[in-house]
Each structure stands twice: as C-alpha cells, then as structure tokens.
Structure 1
Amino acid sequence: MSIAHFCAFAVALFAIGGWFFVWLMHIVAILYGKYRLHRMLPPPSPEDLQGISIIKPLVGVDPNLFSNLETFFHLKYPAYELLFCVQDENDPAIMVVQKLIETYPKINAKLFIGITKVGANGKINNMVKAYEAAKYDLLVISDSSIRMIEDGLTDMASFLKEDVGLVLQMPYTYNRKGFAATYEKVFFGTWQARNALSANSVGINCSTGMSCLFRKDLIEDAGGLAQFGKYLAEDYFISKVISERGYRTVLCSQPAMQNSGYCSIGDFHKRLIRWSMLRASLLPHLMFFEPLSECMLLGVIVSWAMEYMFGISPMGFFLLHVLLWFLCDYTLLRIVENGPLPFSKFEFLVAWLLREVLAFYLTLQSHRTPYIKWRHKSYKAHWGGIIEEV
C-alpha cells in the first residue's frame, strides 16, 4: 500500500469512527433527556429545604424584563432572598426593580448599585456586593432574561444531594413570536441540548451561568467569587473548582427559560461567535473537532469515506445521514419542549437547515479576530480562559 493510500485509509477510518461517536451522542442525549428533563424529583420536606440567595445581575431594560423578574417574586419556596445588582445609578433597570419591591413587600428583596472592580469580567464585578451580602449558604446566579416557573427553585434544590455541588438549568428558550425566536429555540433544543445532555450524563463539565445553584462554601474555599473576575467564562471555572473538591455538577429537570425582549438572528449569531471563541480559549482542541461534529461537514467527509472504504454511493449516504440527523434533532427538541412545538414542521425545517448550513461559517468567523465583544466592551482571551479588557 502506497503512502497516499495509507493516509486516505487512515483518514476514512478516523472519519467513520468519529461519525459513530457523534451518533452515540445523539442516542445518549435523547435517552438521557427523556430520563432527566421534566421529571421532577420528590421535593424534600419544607423544613429540609435550605435557604437560597438568588443573585440577579442587571444591565439596562428590555421589553420583557419586568415580567421576567416578576416570576421570581412568585416562587413557591420556603426561604429565599432576591439580590438585584445594577452597575450604574442611572440604569433604568433600577426603576423596574424598585417597582417590583414596592409591589411585593413580603418578598425579601434588595437592590445593590455600583460595581466592585475585581477583574475584567463585568458580570462578576456587578455581583460581588450581592455575593458578599448573601445570608444563605446556597446561591443561585440567574441572568436577567431568565423566566422562572413557580416550582423552579424547588426543582433545583431537589437535585442538590450530598455529593452534588452545582445544579444547572439547561439553557433553553421561552415561547416567543417570530422566526428569530424559532431559530434560537431550535439551536438550544438541538445542538446545545445534545452536547449538554450527553456531557452531563458522563460527568463532563458543561456548565453555563444562565441559571445555576451552588454551595457558597466551595467558592469561598477558592477565594470567593472575586477570584473568577479574571475569566469571561466564569461559569466554567466555578464548575471546575467545585469538581476539583470532589462534588458533582448535575442538570435539574426544568430548563432555563430565556425570554429576552430583543430577538434577532444577527444578534444571536454574535452570541454564537462569542461562545465559540470562549470554548476555543478554554479547550483549544475544539477548534478542530467542533466543526467536524456538525451535520453538513461531517456528512460530506463520511460520505467520501464510505465510498472509499465500501463503495457506497456518496450522494445517497449523505442524504440519508442528513435525514436521520434531522429526525434525531426533531425528537430531541420535542423532548426538551415537553410537548408540541410552538411552530410548524416547515418552520422547524427552515430554522434547522439555516443553523446547520451556517454552522461552519460561524465557526470561521470566530477565528477572524482575537477580540471578544460582550455588551459594550471588548476583551482579548488568552489560553486558559484568562481575559484582558481592551
């Protein structure tokens, strides 16, 4: 066998092996999603539920902010406090919070204005005051766009066993109108859900900081929340610290319902590019493996490999590959949604095709510049996740 044939054989074998691995992720995600999502554990008795401090970092106002925050005033949980953090005294979010505090005087809620500069991460700077003032040993960090169901906090607390240090709500989206909202829901219910569910099923760090519950003492052992100000992906490192102390990170049954009032495909693509850049700075090997795990590129490579190894028609194999991927993603999305989808099958098809076709392009865009744009600031990420503000 010549060197060229040996190299082609090795590449084809590697591609087919990777293809089977990705299909294993599909199967595990579907089975684990069916097992874990929307299946609440029996809640502990009220006297066994520990108090929880909920930290809500806020910047600016969007059309859904008031209704999103209001859901946290209706939580069915025996003891919790709401700690709202606003960076600037002129931020209009202050009026929204003050109105809610006046409307629900029986709920223990406080407002903190101004940052404590501990690093380049603006979100951490915004939360330090609330973190230090929290009176409970369990903390929840919840983004401003999250909409919580009444028993959502109880659901999270139910999964906090003795060997669990961090409980996550898997990112998803609340039902909203418009194609951009459909596009976001398809992404979070397919690609994001597949990776989060398959990773969590085997104990791999898949932490996201949108909505998470953790033990404060574990973070205090690492130097407190301020120690994570040098990272932009603080959620990943919080989970890593907890794991290093022998505790597990688990998903609870209810997804985190993102409900931003502003929804556009362009803005969402910017988020995807930023997340891709962060993943590459944390785990550099993903720059190579992540694009190869996408439906279209993987399908093209494996179709060639199947023809080279077994003489199978590449076009027929590619079409079958795409069809099966489509059906698996549709099945997983239905599991995450826990019922009929709020859009038609045709809308799902269009949104799914757009995401899959643009996946490789967006990955390339994430490598065009070393600078990460987040809100109104720019950062440069170094290997290991440490950032500096530009």
Structure 2
Amino acid sequence: MLTVIVYFYALILGISLIHLAVSAVVTARRMKQKPDLKILNELKSLPRISILKPLKGIDDNLELNLRSFFELDYPDYELIFGLQNTDDPALPIVNKLMMAYPGVNARIVVENSEIGLNPKINNLHNMEKYIRGRYVLISDSNTQVKPEFLNYMLAAILKPDVGLVTATIRGIGAKKLAAIFENLHINTYVSPNVFVADALSGIPVVIGKSILISTQLLKRMGGFKAFKNFLAEDYLLGLKTKSLGLKVSTIPIMVDNVNIEWSLKRFINRHTRWAKIRRNMHIHHYFIESVSNPIALAVILALLLHNALGAGLLLLVTLVKMAHDIYLSRLMKSDLKWYHFFLTPVKDLLISILWFVPFISNTVNWRDNYFKIGKRSELRPLFN
C-alpha cells in the first residue's frame, strides 16, 4: 500500500513540475506582448474614463499610490474617491492631492449608506451615480500605475468583442517578512497563473486591483448592486462579462500592488480569505490547484520515502522552484532581491497549510467585517 502511495505522489509531483514549466513558458510569451496603441489614433477624441477609488484607512504608500493617478497622461478622465465617513485618515491625503493638482477633475464622495454585505461594493455603489465617463476603471487604493496606463487599458477594451480589461499585478516595495511573502506569491504564482488559466482553459480570472469596463455594460449587468452580497465581485464581473458573450482581456501592463510592512497575521488572513473564495467558486478547480505547489508535494514524498532519495528530491525540487520564481520575477521586472527567494520554500509550505483552512472554516474577515461565505462567494451575516 505504501508503494502505491509513493508512486501516486511521485506522479503528482511530476505533474506539478510540468505545471511550473508551462507557467514559465506562458508567462514569458504573454510578457513579450505589448498592447497596440494604433487603435487610439483612429479616434477623433478619446472617451472620458471615470476612475473609482474606494478608500478606507491608510494603505502602504497611499499618497504616492493616489498621486500616480493624478499624473496620468490621458486627456479626459475623472477621479472619484469614495469614503464612508469624514474621519477616515485617507481624506486629508486626498484633499492635499486635489489642491496640488487643481487641473485634474476630481471629487470626493462621503456616504455611509449600505445596500449589501460587501463593504467595497457599498462604497462603489455610493460613487456610481457620479460617473460621467463612457468607461469606468475600478482601482484599489494600494496600487500605483505609470502615466500611460489608461491608454493601454483603453486600447485593449476597444478590440472587437472585449467587454472587460484587467492589468497584470506586480507586488513591490516589500520590507518586512510577510510583505516579502506576499510579493513573492503575487509575482511568481498569482499573476502567472492568471495567464495559465486563460491560455489553457479560457477561464477569466479577474483580480480587482484594476478593472476597466464600459458604463453601458456595467448598467447592463445591473450596476454594482448586482454584486452587493458577494465577496468575489471582481471574479464575478469577469464571469458575467463572458456570459454576455464578451471577452475578458488581461494585458501584460503592470499595475503595482504596494506591500511594504505587512504582519504575518495580515498575510494569513488574506490568503485564507482568498482560499475560501476559490474553494466556494469552483471546488474541482480548487482541488486541481493543490497540484501547483511542488515543494509541499516533495515534502510529503520525502516523508514517505524517509531516505536519502527523498531528501535529495526535496532539495532538487526546492532549487527548481526557486529558479522558476527568480525567472518569473525577472520577467515581471520585480524589485524583489536575490536573497528573498530563499524564503520561497517557507512561503510555499505556509500557503500549502492555508489551502486546508476552507474545509474547516467558512468565516472571513475583511477590513474588520466578519461574514460567513457560501457558494460563489455569497456572504451571510456571521450572527443571524
């Protein structure tokens, strides 16, 4: 019986290493592609884009993050900042930037009305009535972009049958251990596997750091209120776009997710929350996902073999995975240091443990809001 189990894990480990190779090849091909801006030259004028910025508290480098959106090289856009109360510490920062950039069309919306359980959707819904653009960019507060960002996003959504565009996420700025874990995971697992999922299965994996959609399509979906009681509103926006016969496009233009001084508690909370979302969206995909962690599989195989061969395989797999992560980080032009990759096995083993959490808990904590999560990430009050 033990021999059968050993062969089984050896087979799964082989599949996992093949997945690493596919991830590297697909990501390399996608990162070489650059959106073509020629389509913008065919327009008499560029359409207005409304940028929605839901805010709550102070994220890492918040002022620099928001400043990058005041410095966009695009002729017609508006910034709408949403807060739920006037004592939010992000408000003085927004006011300071609005004074520093008087030529940028920007406004602040402070409303605490709630239409559902998703606090981000409540904030977006409060901003929705102020949208004046033909397109809407939903952009999280912990992101930075280059001045030409909107041009690339618009060029992608103007292609035939494209309904939604999202950009590639790159984690930057890590100084503390958990932030290094986070940026390692974003740059070497999350972003590459968005490309892999699209290339191999056509699954639109939309991550809500930066989403461009037409105002008309958003209204057709029922507006933000259609997602009021779901945690994975970004992913569901992608699925809804595809169900309406339109394409979701992930472009290899970076939106930088700034993670500097994370605590380990925050890292664990975020990834247990993400794991619970994925487990409740597609349980079969979630089981397949377990094959994508070769270091964890190699540890199990080494324990089963309990000999020098097992230890040697574990060392070899660890070195291969570290080399894979270094290669992908270079493709992403990450700011991770060479010595950060010695943390790869620790991070991967921690992620493998967190993978089991959704099978013993369905409670999520998001910005001090506690819910139970159900099918398709539907939220329910923790206490009825």
Question: Given the two structures, how large is their TM-score scaled by the length of structure 1?
Answer: 0.87
Q: Is the 8 A contact 2:182 2:259 kept in 1?
A: no
Q: In structure 2, do the counterparts of structure 1 residues 152 and 194 end up closer, same or farther at CA, with 3 Å as the change threshold?
A: same
Q: Return the letter of the residue paired with 1:168.
A: T
SS at 1:356's partner residue? helix
Query: Counterpart in 1 of 2:111?
Result: 114
**Counterpart selection for 1:37 from 13, 27, 31:** 31
**Counterpart selection for 1:149 from 121, 124, 146:** 146
Query: Counterpart in 1 of 2:296?
Result: 297
1:327: Cα distance to partner? Answer: 1.4
1:287: Cα distance to partner? Answer: 4.9
**Counterpart selection for 1:354 from 339, 346, 351:** 346
Question: Given the two structures, how large is their TM-score scaled by the length of structure 2?
Answer: 0.88
1:46: Cα distance to partner? Answer: 5.4
The runs of 5 or more residues in structure 1 that have no matched partner are none
The runs of 5 or more residues in structure 2 that have no matched partner are none
Could you list the per-position Cα deviations for residues 246-292 of structure 1 after superposition, in whole angstroms to 9, with x for gaps in the alignment? 11212212222112564223312211111111111112235533334
Q: In structure 2, do the counterparts of structure 1 residues 159 and 302 end up closer, same or farther at CA, with 3 Å as the change threshold?
A: farther
SS at 2:198's partner residue? helix
**Counterpart selection for 1:373 from 344, 365, 374:** 365
What CA distance in whole angstroms lies between the structure 2 residues aligned with 1:117 and 1:66? 27
Once the two structures are superposed, the pairs formed by residues 50-129 of structure 1 within 5 Å of their partners are: 50-62=47-59, 64-129=61-126
Query: Counterpart in 1 of 2:190?
Result: 192
Q: In structure 2, do the counterparts of structure 1 residues 302 and 62 end up closer, same or farther at CA, with 3 Å as the change threshold?
A: closer
Once the two structures are superposed, the pairs formed by residues 141-290 of structure 1 within 5 Å of their partners are: 141-160=138-157, 161-202=159-200, 203-260=202-259, 262-290=261-289
Q: In structure 2, do the counterparts of structure 1 residues 151 and 195 end up closer, same or farther at CA, with 3 Å as the change threshold?
A: same
What CA distance in whole angstroms lies between the structure 2 residues aligned with 1:196 and 1:292? 16
Q: Is the 8 A contact 1:196 1:206 kept in 2?
A: yes
**Counterpart selection for 2:316 from 295, 316, 320:** 320
What CA distance in whole angstroms lies between the structure 1 residues aligned with 2:130 and 2:368? 28
Moved more, 281-290 or 109-118: 281-290
Q: In structure 2, do the counterparts of structure 1 residues 250 and 20 end up closer, same or farther at CA, with 3 Å as the change threshold?
A: farther
Q: In structure 2, do the counterparts of structure 1 residues 242 and 262 end up closer, same or farther at CA, with 3 Å as the change threshold?
A: same
Query: How many equivalent residue pairs?
Result: 376
1:39: Cα distance to partner? Answer: 4.6
Q: Return the letter of the residue paired with 2:75.
A: P
Q: Is the 8 A contact 1:62 1:261 kept in 2?
A: no
Q: In structure 2, do the counterparts of structure 1 residues 79 and 32 end up closer, same or farther at CA, with 3 Å as the change threshold?
A: farther
1:237: Cα distance to partner? Answer: 0.7
Q: Return the letter of the residue paired with 2:329.
A: L
Q: Is the 8 A contact 2:175 2:260 kept in 1?
A: no
Could you list the per-position Cα deviations for residues 278-336 of structure 1 after superposition, in whole angstroms to 9, with x for gaps in the alignment? 1111122355333343122322456799x8xxxx9444333323322221122111111
1:381: Cα distance to partner? Answer: 0.7
